[in-house]
């Protein structure tokens, strides 16, 4: 069975033609060590291997490809090449774990440790007992490898030989013969081809942004609510100015508010690293409390901070023996209204032209505290 063998799981761009019969015989092989040119080198290497034995692609009967683990970008070149050629030629393609190819090539009788270079100071590795892989391939730092073996092989083993400390066998990459041997039974039996699934072992380096703008919603669990002090004004005034423009309170106005402890209470929401993310205030006259302000910096919204501030204001109002708490909200601010409704507020009236110089009405909402 004339078989094309490909591996791009390492810096060695590998292609070869093998005759798989009772034995496995390598007819031609091209290995170029260049970790940055898989895309350029692989197809010409395959072409050269075929030319060397004067065969055409149509003579191929099977394809064997190393599925990694290995650096993703190069790995995909081998896999998509194998899948596309198998499709075009209507022949089966078989995937082989590239570390298995190294183990098959060295044919070591005792327990064997095989490691590839995973970059980022890590190795892709697996252990082999009597030639068979003991568990799934792993990716870890060399220092975190804890296996018993009598020898080691692979480019990762060579790179960290001092740290790993085992006898190093001279087989850095999965050669054509090793890979073909692992798949030889499937090739001989003419098994149907398989979906070629790369062994990435790592997830893509991307995490959804934490910002609420993109749907991520970290909780407000790491947020602390505490009374506002004059020292907080250095943090509050810039964002107050940014959010409220010409209507922002001055430092003096804020100080008056904070210092009026008889009637008013002001709070801040603070992140675990001490950053002020929002503030709120309540005015209590006789048995009626009025929410004066609730503001959260734009980057910290939708994390439940406004709700935490509101709940605290309600608790303060109760402790001051208020029987009701009132607030105004823009008629078109549905998000805020929803928050207040879920906290038990109901609409009791409309103030005409309360916002935007008379253009937008306010809803007056009330929560009964009795």
Partner 1 sequence: MISADSAPLVLGIETSCDETGIGLVRGTELLADAIASSVAEHARFGGVVPEVASRAHLQAMVPTVHRACAEAGIALDDIDAIAVTIGPGLAGALLVGTAAAKAYSLALGKPLYAVNHLSAHVCVDLLENGPLDEPCIALLVSGGHSSILRVPQVGGPVIEELGATLDDAAGEAFDKVARLLGLGFPGGPFIDRSARKGNPAAITFPRGLTGPNDPPFAFSFSGLKSAVARWVEQREAAGDPVPVSDVAASFQEAVVDVLTAKAVRAAVENGIDHVLLGGGVAANSRLRALAAERCERAGLRMRVPRPGLCTDNGAMVAALGAQLVMRGASPSELDVGADSSLSITEVLL
Task: Give the catalytic positions in this structure.
Answer: 328, 340
Residue with smaller CB distance to partner 1, 10 or 171: 10
Q: Is 201 left (phi over 0), alpha (psi -120 to 50) or beta?
A: left
Six token digits for residue 344: 């038990």
- Minimum CB distance to partner 1, residue 54 (Å): 15
The single-letter DSSP state of residue 300 is: G
CB within 8 A of 277, min separation 6: which ones? 223, 269, 270, 271, 296, 297, 300, 305
Cβ atoms within 10 Å, residue 46: 24
DSSP type of residue 168: B
Reading across the β-sheet that carries 360-368, which strands appear in turn? 224-227, 264-270, 276-285, 288-296, 324-330, 360-368, 346-355
Sign of the C-alpha dihedral computed for residues 6, 12, 16 and 21 taken in this order? negative
Binding mask 294-333 for partner 1 (x = CB under 8 A): -x--x--x----------------------------x-xx
By the rule CB under 8 A, 109 interacts with partner 1: no
> Is residue 98 within 8 Å of residue 128, measured between CB atoms?
no
Nearer to partner 1, 143 or 243 (CB): 243
The answer to whether residue 278 forms part of the interface with partner 1 (CB under 8 A) is no
Q: Does 190 bind partner 1 (CB under 8 A)?
A: no
Minimum separation from the CB atom of position 243 to partner 1 (A): 3
Does 131 participate in binding partner 1 (rule CB under 8 A)?
no
Task: For residue 67, give every residue at least 6 positions away whose Cβ sits within 8 Å of its Cβ, in sequence order, or none.
Answer: 9, 75, 79, 95, 96, 97, 98, 196, 197, 198, 199
Taking the CA atoms of residue 200, residue 202, residue 203 and residue 206 in that order, the dihedral angle to the nearest 10 degrees is -120
Applying CB under 8 A, does 158 fall inside the site for partner 1?
no
**Contacts to partner 1 from residues 326-345, by CB under 8 A:** 330, 332-336
Q: Is 57 in the site for partner 1 (CB under 8 A)?
A: yes
Listed ranges 73-81, 146-154, 266-274, 277-285: which one lies at the site for partner 1 (CB under 8 A): 73-81
Provide, rounded to whole angstroms, the least separation between the CB of residue 33 and partner 1. 16
Cis peptide before 118 (omega within 30 of 0): no
Nearest approach, Cβ of residue 179 and partner 1 (Å): 18
**Contact assessment for residue 323 and residue 351, using Cβ atoms and an 8 Å cutoff:** no
φ and ψ at 298, to 5 degrees?
A: -55, -40
Number of residues forming the site for partner 1 (CB under 8 A): 54
Q: Per rule CB under 8 A, is residue 360 in the interface with partner 1?
A: yes
User: Closest CB to partner 1 among 46 and 103?
Assistant: 46
With binding defined as CB under 8 A, does residue 85 bind partner 1?
yes
Does position 162 interact with partner 1 (CB under 8 A)? The reply is no
Per-residue burial over 308-324, b = 16 or more CB atoms within 10 Å of its CB, e = otherwise: bbbebbbebbeeeebee
- How many alpha carbons fall within 13 Å on the CB side of residue 278? 26
Q: Which of 18, 20, 41, 145 forms a contact with partner 1 (CB under 8 A)?
A: 41
* Residues 208-237 contacting partner 1, CB under 8 A: 208-209, 213-215
- Is 39 one of the binding residues for partner 1 (CB under 8 A)? yes
73 binds partner 1 per the rule CB under 8 A: yes
Residues that bind partner 1 (CB under 8 A): 37-44, 46-47, 56-57, 72-73, 76-77, 79-85, 87-89, 198, 200, 204-206, 208-209, 213-215, 239, 242-245, 247, 295, 298, 301, 330, 332-336, 355-356, 360
């Amino acid at each position: 069975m004339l078989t094309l063998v490909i591996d791009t799981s390492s810096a060695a761009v590998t292609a070869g033609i093998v005759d798989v019969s009772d034995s496995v015989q390598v007819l031609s092989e091209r290995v170029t060590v260049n970790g940055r040119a898989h895309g350029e080198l692989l197809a010409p290497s395959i072409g050269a291997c075929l030319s060397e034995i004067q065969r055409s692609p149509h003579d191929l009967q099977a394809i064997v490809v190393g599925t990694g683990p290995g650096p993703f970008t190069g790995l995909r070149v081998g896999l998509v090449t194998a899948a596309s050629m198998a499709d075009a030629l209507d022949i089966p393609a078989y995937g082989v774990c590239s570390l298995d190819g190294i183990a098959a090539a060295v044919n070591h009788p005792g327990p064997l440790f095989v490691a590839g270079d995973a970059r980022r100071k890590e190795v892709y590795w697996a252990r082999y007992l009597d030639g068979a892989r003991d568990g799934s391939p792993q990716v870890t730092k060399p220092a975190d490898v804890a296996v018993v073996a009598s020898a080691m092989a692979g480019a990762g083993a060579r790179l960290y030989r001092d740290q790993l400390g085992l006898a190093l066998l001279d087989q850095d990459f999965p050669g054509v013969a090793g890979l073909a041997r692992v798949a030889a039974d499937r090739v001989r039996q003419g098994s149907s081809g398989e979906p070629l699934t790369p062994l990435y072992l790592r997830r893509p380096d991307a995490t959804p942004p934490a910002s609420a703008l993109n749907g991520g919603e970290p909780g407000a669990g790491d947020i602390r609510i505490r009374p506002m002090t004059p020292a907080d004004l250095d943090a509050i005034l810039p964002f107050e100015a940014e959010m409220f423009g010409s209507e922002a309170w001055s430092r003096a106005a804020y100080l008056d508010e904070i210092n009026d402890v008889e009637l008013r209470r002001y709070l801040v929401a603070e992140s675990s690293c001490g950053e002020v993310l929002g503030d709120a205030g309540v005015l209590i006259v006789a048995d009626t409390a009025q929410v004066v302000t609730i503001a959260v910096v734009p980057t910290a919204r939708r994390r439940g901070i406004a709700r935490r501030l509101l709940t605290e204001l309600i608790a303060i109002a109760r402790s001051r023996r208020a029987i009701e708490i009132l607030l105004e909200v823009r008629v078109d601010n549905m998000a805020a209204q929803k928050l207040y409704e879920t906290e038990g507020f109901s609409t009791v009236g409309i103030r005409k032209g309360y916002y935007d110089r008379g253009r937008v009405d306010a809803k007056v909402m009330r929560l009964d505290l009795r």
